[in-house]
Every structure is written in structure tokens, then in C-alpha cells.
Amino acid sequence: MAPSTLPTQLPAATNGTAPPAVAKSVAGSTNLQGAATPNEQRLLNNWLNIQSINLCRQAKALRPFTKEEFGTGAAAPSAGHIDAVNRFIDKFRLQLIEKSRWVDAAAQAAQREPTSDRLHLLLERKQKVSDQVLYLEGIWDFYFDMFVQRLSGFGERLRAIDRIAIGCYEKVYVGLGTAKPTPSLLPFSYADSGFSPYTIRRNVPMQKLRHNPNLFPLIVIPQHRLDNVWALSSVLHEVSHNLQADLGLWEVMPAQIYQRLTTEGKIPPDIAKVWAQWHKEMMADMFALVLGGPAAVESLMDVVGRSPASTLAFSPMSAHPTPYLRVLINLILLKRLGFQQMATDLTRVWQRLYPRVSATDIPPPFMKTFYPAAELAVDTMVFQPYPQFGNKSMAQVVDFGPAQLDLIQQAGRRLAKGEDPGTIPVRLMISAARFALDCRLAKPQTITDNFYRILGNR
């Protein structure tokens, strides 16, 4: 490959001049201002012409999506989601098409008079527009890959996740009893690799979107979770993060927790600050439990039940409660909902897994105040009224009690047999699958297959 710059010193020669081959190369590299040969001009014109053609076609290739290209069944993306993406991408695409004409004008000028200045102007414009094409292409590819999953074997499963999320939103917004409308663009799910599900909230900047705001909530599910439907309570947790944000609860909850702990509970401020810092994850757990039932706690135990070094690790800076304590917080809510015996039994199971909590794991002042602080935090999040809940409490907006547990158990028995579970809300089907598995009513694969088939037919 030829060097990018000329050598600083030519090779020595017996007569003190450069060797003939080198001298010829130097002469060729500097003789660029002379008249172009017809063949040279033809090749240059061809190249100039193709630059604007390429960019224009690249920009137009980032076309609007159509609903039909991702299927016409229930698993297909909604018209609302596709329209929102098309409107978003259109803003960039129209600018690109206009700027490709900017490149075409520079190319035509260079063809008429191929001076160094005009060629340089074309190259600069081409670079800028090419970078913008790549910028938009990344956004377009992200949505295309996400939507096209609905044509794959994931389609039916992702549609089931969508329906669970929609059911959660409908339950909450109807329960508000106010004129507050349900958001028009509800969560959209897609499969990805990773250990656990996560969510990207509405209007949050995303790296895959080149740091533009996310258009609608995204629920990202690892493939292995889709295979284990009884473990999908974590989806309820992720959906709940979006409910918190859409209802405006994130802004008020940390101050409420801190205030009640420091005044009513007499909890030291430094400890209360940690509890307030945990508000997002705790409240998503609380929502998941009242929306989906006891399987939410059991699934949480599945996820955070790891080595003692991991589960007992306390960090005052973490947004997540210490995993060991997080389960106990959820069990306090389970007890408050009327399931005292179940909460007591699960507490004993959890403490058998982790029988020793040392001062090096969790600071003694924190453990000493844990239960009174946890009781107050749960009461603040679930049993106190807020304007964001239509001046109701979470427990009033989303009721869960023995009647709902009976529904779950009936649905679990029918699910195991492959029968339609009746009018049970979709969001409770995860607990029904967990009940069927815990009671060994059917093989795991049978439960999974029946779960997706039944939700797909509803």
C-alpha cells in the first residue's frame, strides 16, 4: 500500500538525485493542475455523479414502515406504535433528502468545473450527509429489528407480554375513577439477551436511538424468561416502573417516605435517606404484587436468591434494596393484604436460606430499625391516598385479596388441563402458571404452551 505522505528524505543515489522510479512518482503526484485527459475526466465525472445517487438512495431507503410488513395477526405491532415511529423518523429523513440535493448541487458544480475548491466542497458535504445517514440508519434499524421479531417464533410470546402490560394499565387507570385517560401508546415488548428483564420509560433518552427520547415504554425480556412463564412476574415490576412515571409518582414518593420515617418512625435521617433512595424499586415491587399476586414475591425470591455474599450485600448508594431485605419488604405487604400465613411461611423459608446476617453484611443500626421502617414504607406506598391515584391509595385502585387468589388457583387448574381459564384478568395468569407449577399439575412445558396458546386466543 502506498504511504499517505511523501518520505522526508529520498533514498540516496550515486549521482545525488532520486532514482528514476521515485522521481517519476513525485512528478505524478504534483502534476494535478494540468489539463485532464479525456479518460481521466470521464472517470472523474462518473465518480462525481455516483456520489449524489448513492446518498439520495441511501436516504430514501430509510422508508416509512408499513403495518403489513410485520404481519397482520394479533402479534403484529399496533398501528399506533408504527405511526409514532414513522413520524419520528420522518423528521430526520426529510432533512436527509433535502441535504442529499445539497450534495448533488456540489457534484454538478464540480463536474462543470473540477477545481480543487469545488472538489473539496463536495467531499465536505458528502462527509456531513453520510454521517447523518448513518445516524438515522441506526434508529431505523433499531425499530425494524424490534418490529420484525413479531414475525418470528417470539411473536406470540411477545404479544402475551403486551397484553399483560395493557391489562395492568387498564386496571390502574380504570381504578383511578377520574377522567385521566390511559396513555395512547402502551408498553411494547421485545426479546433480548441478558439476566433479567428491564424497561426503558417513555421520553427517556436511549443510546440506540442516538440519545433521542424513547417514544413509548419498552419492556425488554430475556429469551429464557419467555420460556418460564411462571417467572414473568418481573414483567409486572417493569410495567410498574412505567406506571409510576406516567402517573407522576416518582416526584412525590421519596419525600413522603423520608418524612414519615423521620417524624412518625423516629428513624435516623441517614437511614431514612437510604429508604427514600429505594423508592422506585420498592414501589415497582408493591405494584407488581397487587397487580399479579403472590407469584410476584416467589419470582423475586427466584431472582435475588443467590449466594449469601451477593444477596446480603448492603450498599447505601444503591437504588435497589439489599436483596435479602427486599424480599422481607414484599412479605410485609403480602401480610398486609390479608395473607398472613403465607407471608409467615415464606419468611421462614427465606430465613432458612439465609440464617445468619452479620454486622459485616448489613450495618446493625439499619437492621435494628428495619421492621418499623419497612412497615412505614409499605404503608406510605400502598395504603396512603395520593392525588396521582385519584385521591385513593394503591390498594384501593388495585384491589388484591382472597377473592383474587381463588381466581388464580381456579385458573391454574384449568391452565394445567389446557382449558380456558374464564374471565380471569390477564395480569393474574402469571400467578396461575406459578400455582400450576408449584402444585405439579402439569409438566413445565405443558404449562408454558398452554399459557401462550390461551393468551393468544383471548
Q: What is the full per-residue pLDDT of the chain (458 aa) written as tens digits? A: 443 333 333 333 334 444 444 333 333 334 445 567 889 888 998 999 898 888 888 888 899 999 889 998 889 999 999 999 999 999 898 888 888 888 999 999 999 999 999 999 999 999 999 999 999 999 999 999 999 999 998 999 999 999 999 999 999 999 998 878 889 899 999 998 877 889 999 999 999 999 999 999 999 998 888 999 998 999 999 999 999 999 999 889 999 999 999 999 999 999 999 999 999 999 999 999 999 999 999 999 999 999 999 999 999 999 999 999 999 999 999 999 999 999 999 999 999 999 999 999 999 999 999 999 999 999 999 999 999 999 999 999 999 999 999 999 999 999 999 999 988 999 999 999 999 999 999 999 999 999 999 988 76
Number of domains in the chain: 3
Q: Which domain holds residue 450?
A: 403-457
- Classify the C-alpha dihedral 322-323-324-328 as positive or negative: positive
Q: Is residue 398 part of a domain?
A: no
Same domain, 147 and 43: yes
Same domain, 127 and 171: no
- Residue that terminates a domain, selected from 194, 228, 262: 228
Same domain, 177 and 87: no
Same domain, 72 and 131: yes
Q: Is residue 70 part of a domain?
A: yes
Same domain, 45 and 147: yes
Q: Is residue 444 part of a domain?
A: yes
Same domain, 88 and 190: no
Q: Is residue 286 part of a domain?
A: no
Q: Is residue 32 part of a domain?
A: no
Burial of 316-341, coded b for 16+ CB within 10 Å and e otherwise, reads eeeeebbbbbbbbbbbbbbbbbebee
Cβ neighbors of 407 (< 8 A, separation 6 or more) are 424, 428
Q: Is residue 245 part of a domain?
A: no
Same domain, 52 and 79: yes
- Residue that terminates a domain, selected from 186, 211, 228: 228
- Residue that terminates a domain, selected from 123, 151, 179: 151
Same domain, 46 and 144: yes
Cβ neighbors of 60 (< 8 A, separation 6 or more) are 97
Same domain, 45 and 139: yes
pLDDT in tens, 97-132: 888 888 999 999 999 999 999 999 999 999 999 999
DSSP letters spanning 274-340:
HHHHTHHHHHHHHHHHHHH-THHHHHHHHHH---HHHHT---TT-SSPPHHHHHHHHHHHHHHTT-H
Same domain, 53 and 139: yes
Q: Is residue 276 part of a domain?
A: no
Q: Is residue 412 part of a domain?
A: yes
d(CA 386, CA 78): 33
Q: Are 312 and 354 in contact (CB under 8 A)?
A: yes
Q: Which three cell numbers stand for residue 403?
A: 377473592
Same domain, 92 and 190: no
Same domain, 159 and 144: no
pLDDT in tens, 52-63: 888 888 888 899
- What is the reported pTM? 0.85
